[in-house]
Structures are given as C-alpha cells and as structure tokens.
Chain A
Amino acid sequence: MTRFILRRLLTAIPTLFLIVTISFFLMRVAPGGPFNQEKGLNPAVIENLNRVYQLDQPLWSQYLHYLSNLLHGDLGPSYTRPDFTVTEMFATALPISIQIGTLALLLALTIGSVLGIIAALNQNRGLDYLVVATATAGSTIPTFVIAPLYQLTFALSLSLVPVAGWGGGALVNKIGPVLTLMLPQLAVVARLMRGAMIEALRAHHIRTCRAMGLSEVSVVCRHALRSAVMPVISYAGPAAASLLTGSVIVETIFGIPGIGRYFVEAALARDYTVVMGTVVVLAAFTILFNLIVDLLYAIVDPRVRHD
C-alpha cells in the first residue's frame, strides 16, 4: 500500500512539472503583459517595472527562476495587486473556495446517493421517475440560470438570504453558492448510484442474502451498497476537482472572493504569477483527489490491490 502511494506521488511530480511548463510558456507567447494594460503609462515606468519583476530577462531564465521559487514554495508577487504575494492572496481565497467546494461535494454525495438508492429500490415506479427527471433537469440546467433564479426567489422576492457577497463566511451567504454548486453533481451522483444499485441488487450474492432472511436494510446498506458505491467513488475524484474549478461561475455570480474569481481577473489583467499559481494549486488538487479516489477504490474493492 505504501509503495502504491509512493509510486503515485512520484508520478505526480513530472505531471505537475509538465503542467507548470505548458502553462508558463503558453501564457508568455500570448501578446501583452501585466504592465501595458493601463493606457498612458510612461515607457520608462514600464521598463522599470519589468526590471523589478525580472520580466526583462530572457524567457528561459525567468522560467528557471520561477521553477526554483516554486520548489521553495514561493509563488511570486502579484503584478496587479502590488502589496500582495500570490501566497498571501491564496491564504484568504483558497479556504473560501475549499469550504464551499467541500460542503457542496459532501452534500452532493450523500443526498445524491440516498436519492439514487431510493430510485433503484422503486425501479420503474413513480418515485423512480421523479428522481430521474429531477436528476436530468439538475444536470441539464446550467448553473448560471439556476443561480439568478435562486437570487430572484430567495433573496429578492422572499428576502430570506442576501443576494450575494461573502459576509465573512456567514451561513446564509453560503447557502446559495453551495446549492448551485451542488445541484449538477448531485444529479450525476444520483444517476450513477441508481444504475449501480439496480445492477448490484441483481447479483447472486444479494439473492443469497435475501434467501437467508436478512432484513432489507441490511441487504441494501451492507451488501449491495458495497459494490454499488464503486462508480460513485470513481466519479468523486473528478467531481471534487470540478467543484473547485466550477466555482468560477458561482464565485462570480455570488461575488465571493474565492480562487476562481481571482483567476478570471488575473487572466484578464495578465497577472502571470496569479494565473500560474491557480493552475499549479488546482492541478495539485486534481492529482491529490485522483490519488485519494484510487486509495478508496483499493479499500472498497480488494481485487484492485492485487493488480
């Protein structure tokens, strides 16, 4: 097991390295820079700024410089927010994104699974159709339609929650973002769980369980769930990553100072270090989530371990 984890962590290094390299050069071949966005900036000032941030040096030396800083955990200064380093920006932004993302993921996994199981147990009956229809709607209606509708009903008409803003992390401010982030994932989880559960309930060992007189709860929750949960687990990895990335739109609509909003702003302003920092952090998260999923897989399904 430890060898497995070690090997995966070792392969993560070249992956991260490649991602950093691709993003770095992709960004630099594009025209424009962080300081020629503002009109009327004196050329001498731009030159000085470029010198201060070492943007006047050849690209390869900038690249090596960035890499060595990165290895020391330094993501560099932000070009558009001169008083902040990228690390400082992330120190406040990342926890916010993670909080919303984690809440949304946990809710989507639990509620989605429960809905999926309910649908599977009532296959081709009213309740099943209801769940499937909701799931289809949930995965089809885009976030940027649901979010304004939520704001209209619960904030503007009913005045139950604030329209937008973070409010220092107050619960009422989180409801909207978490709900809108959760819904598409919940829909997919419910569909996956439904399909897997239907298949699992047809298996021979489940028939044996039933024949031996186990209670329905025990059959479903202890025996069928074990194999039905596999597709959901393998989906959870990409879902976790996409919850962090999917937060771009939610953070924009609800005006939340998370990492996704910074990224869009930074990309528009050619704030190289912030963009790079976001890509690195998110890639690291994606790799981490995939690793966790593989580990969970090995725990739930012993056959994987022997491969």
Chain B
Amino acid sequence: MTETAPLAPGRSLWSDAWARLRANRAASLSALYLLLMALCCGIGPFVVPNDYTTIHQSYTKVPPRLSAYPTPEMIGPALDQVAKRARVEIRDWHETGGEITATLTAPRGVDDRAARYFDRSDLFDGATITPGAEVTTATLTARVERKWFLFGTDANGRDLLARTLVAGRVSLAIGLMAGLVAVVIGVLYGATSGFIGGKVDEAMMRVVDILYSLPFIFFVIMLVVFFGRNFLLTFLAVGAVMWLDMARIVRGQTLALKRLEFVQAAEALGVSRAGILRRHILPNLLGPVIIYMTLLVPTVIIMESFLSYLGLGVQEPMSSWGVLISQGAKNIPHANWLLAFPALFLISTLFALNFIGDGLRDALDPRDR
C-alpha cells in the first residue's frame, strides 16, 4: 500500500489576491467603511427621524445637536412669534416635562381657533385652548414637539443628515454606474482593437487619440447643458467620455496576452476567435480592469459633484454631495456644518476608494510591489 501525501490545495490567482488584500489593513478597513457608507446611504433615509424634503420653517440653519430640538431658549421666542401671528398676547408661560402651559390674553377675547397657529409651528403640537376666568384670557396647553437634527439643517430648514444620506445614494450610484458604463465600453473597445490587431487596431486607436484631445470637462458640460439635466444622462455622459484610458489599458494587455503560449495553444487546437476572447483573454484582463474601475469611480464621483457644483447635475429636491457642498460653500462663514458634513462624507468615501484601488493593485499585480 502506498500512501500519497495529500496534495496541497492549489492557490489560484484570485485566492492569492484575496489573501493579500485581506492582509492589507488600510484596504480592508476601507472596504468595510465603504460597505457601511453604502448601507447608511441605502437604508439611512428610511431610518433617520426626518424626511429629506420636509421643510422645517422654525428651524432654518440650526447647528448640529446631539440632543433633541427645541432648546429651552428657543421656546420663548417661538411662542411670542406664533402669538403675534395669532394676534394674542402671552402673559406668562412655563414648561413642565415637555408640556407648555401659557396664559393668553387678547383685548377682544381669545378665539380657540388660535390653537391652529400653535399647531402649525414646528415646535408645538396638540395645542388646546381653554377659556379662562375672564373673557379676555385663556389657557393654552401644548406639547413641545421634539425634533432631532444631528447634522443641523440647511437654509430652507431641511434636515442635513437625511439630505447627506440621500445625496450619498445619488453620488455613489452615479459613480458606480458611470464607472460600469466606462468599463464596459472601454473593455469591449480595447479588447476588440487589441485582439484583431493590424489596420483595424491602428484605426481604432487613432479614434481614441482624437477623442483624447477633446477637452473632456467641456464636452461633458456641453452634453449635459444641451441634452437636459437628467440623472440618467449625467452618468451616461460622464461614463461615455471616461472609457478612453480603459480602452488603452485593455488594448495593451490584450496585445501582450495574445502572444502568450496558452492563447497560441488554443489557436492550434482550433478554438474560435470569439471562444479565445471569451475564455482566455477577458478573464485575464479582469485584474487591471478591476483596479482601474476602483480608481475610476472616485474620478466619476468628483466629476459629478463638479457638475452639480456648477448647477448642471442633479436638480432639487434630489441632491448629491456636490450639490450640498456647493450650498455649504455659499453659507460657509455662518453655517460651516453645511459644508463640513457633506465634504467629510465625500472625502472619506474618495479616500476609501483610493485605498481599495491601491490595495487591489498590490494584490492583483504583485510585480509592481
């Protein structure tokens, strides 16, 4: 009886790369962070206390606060303001456990419809007015409505937390989709060009060279301005101009792969060209493509923010990080949180994507290390 030692399980390029990627702490932390960010932006808007379109008129540009609004100092002025609108006067008021009790006076008697004015305010809820001892007075009881604005509110009184998360959804989606568009076009174009070779290759690459000397940003602005400011179109336009690098990289790789033995072997065995392309060329291109894609996504996100910054991207009430940052930049001296939070979200995401890209490059392309 002969005993063969059990074969060590073979390690494919991918399992190898996976192990290397996991060992890279910056990259795996970034991946985790990105996943968390995607989850927050995906589910967050349903969970956060306020809707991203609701306008809170009593809370415009309130700073971020971890505990609930209103602050004790806000109640007095707010009561006075509502009273003025309701044409009553407040003689005295006090708050106990979230309940407001106030004595109202009006020269011609307090109409109990005045309660509506209090309900309409963002601060009070369930206002009831009971007639007092005299004709001209009445007692108001109302609950203080508690609202959470963890990131503060914008100039229109909309919750910045909800808006930042919804914006993240748009920014990430555009980044991912435009990245995909660019990759699909780039890979197909580059692989075809490199694989066919000869005159066709030369002509196809000439086209890329010509497109390369187009001023890109101008081209995108032109597309967006002339064909409507539409979410779908924005990322299609961005994706459609970002595929050139991808095409070049893929063509170079294809040319190199074509000369390798296993491709020649497949040719000798009579595998069809499409078969070779599908079975041998494309899978081997996956490494550089993935690396490039992770580096492309941040570029696209920046590009989209840039368009939105100019007012050419996503339109209100939808928002993207670029939109929020541009609004924040306009309010910077007195409401810096409007810039700080969206910018923080955008920059941290870009950092994470860059780290993942670098990590993937190290993992998939060990020669470069």
Which A residues contact B (CB, under 8 angstroms)? 14-15, 18-19, 22-23, 26-27, 30-32, 136, 139-145, 147-148, 151-152, 156, 241, 244-246, 248-249, 252-253, 263-264, 267-268, 270, 275, 278-279, 282-283, 286-287, 290
Q: A140-B347, A145-B343, A248-B218 are in contact. List 4 more A-B contacts (CB 8 A).
A: A22-B214, A26-B222, A147-B329, A248-B217
- When A140-B354, A248-B310, A267-B222 are in contact, do A152 and B332 touch as well, CB less than 8 Å? yes
B214 touches A246 (CB 8 A): no
For B, the interface residue count at a CB cutoff of 8 angstroms equals: 37
Task: Report Cα–Cα, A144/B301, bound state, in Å.
Answer: 13
How far apart are A302's CB and chain B's nearest CB, in angstroms? 24
Q: How far is the CA of A282 from the CA of B214 in the complex (A)?
A: 8
When the two chains form their complex, are residues A18 and B210 in contact, meaning their CB atoms are under 8 A apart?
yes
Please give me the residue from chain A that is nearest to B226 by CB atom: A30
B313, CB-defined interface residue at 8 Å: no
Secondary structure at the B interface, as helix, strand, loop or mixed, is helix
Residues on A with beta carbons closer than 8 Å to the beta carbon of B328:
148
Within the assembled complex, what's the spacing in Å between the Cα atoms of A249 and B313?
14
The 9 lowest CB-CB distance pairs between A and B, nearest first, are A30-B226, A148-B329, A282-B215, A267-B225, A286-B213, A140-B350, A245-B217, A145-B343, A245-B215
| Interface flag for B118 (CB, 8 Å) | no
**Minimum CB distance partner of B355 in chain A:** A136
Do B347 and A145 touch (CB < 8 A)?
yes
- With A140-B347, A152-B333, A156-B333 already in contact, the answer to whether A286 and B215 are too (CB < 8 A) is yes
B337 interface residue (CB < 8 Å to A): no
B213 lies within 8 A of A19 (CB): yes
Tell me if B221 counts as interface (CB < 8 A to partner A). Answer: yes
- Please report the C-alpha to C-alpha distance between residue A282 and residue B325 in the assembled complex, in whole angstroms: 28
- From residue A199, how far is it (CB to closest CB) to chain B in Å? 10
The A interface is mostly helix, strand or loop, or mixed, namely helix
- Cross-chain pairs A/B with CB under 8 angstroms, 25 sampled: A14-B210, A15-B213, A19-B213, A22-B214, A26-B222, A26-B223, A30-B227, A136-B354, A139-B354, A140-B354, A141-B350, A142-B347, A145-B325, A151-B332, A152-B333, A156-B332, A244-B215, A245-B215, A245-B216, A245-B217, A248-B217, A279-B218, A279-B219, A279-B222, A286-B212
CB of A163, distance to nearest CB on chain B (Å): 10
CB contact between B326 and one of A144, A156, A268 (< 8 Å): that residue: A144
Q: How far is the CA of A250 from the CA of B221 in the complex (A)?
A: 15
CB-based nearest A residue for B328: A148
A248 to B225 CA separation, bound complex (whole angstroms): 15
Q: CB distance B222 to A23 under 8 Å?
A: yes
Chain B, residues 207-247, CB within 8 Å of chain A (1/0): the string is 00110111111110111011100000000000000000000
Q: Tell me the complex Cα distance, A245–B225, Å.
A: 17
- A241-B215, A245-B217, A290-B213 in contact; A264/B227 too (CB < 8 A)? no
Cα of A19 to Cα of B351 in the assembled complex, Å: 35
Q: Indicate whether A283 sits within 8 Å of B214 (C-beta atoms), given known contacts A30-B226, A140-B354.
A: yes
Task: List residues of chain B with CB within 8 A of the CB of A152.
Answer: 332-333, 336
CB within 8 Å for A144 and B354 given contacts A156-B333, A287-B213: no
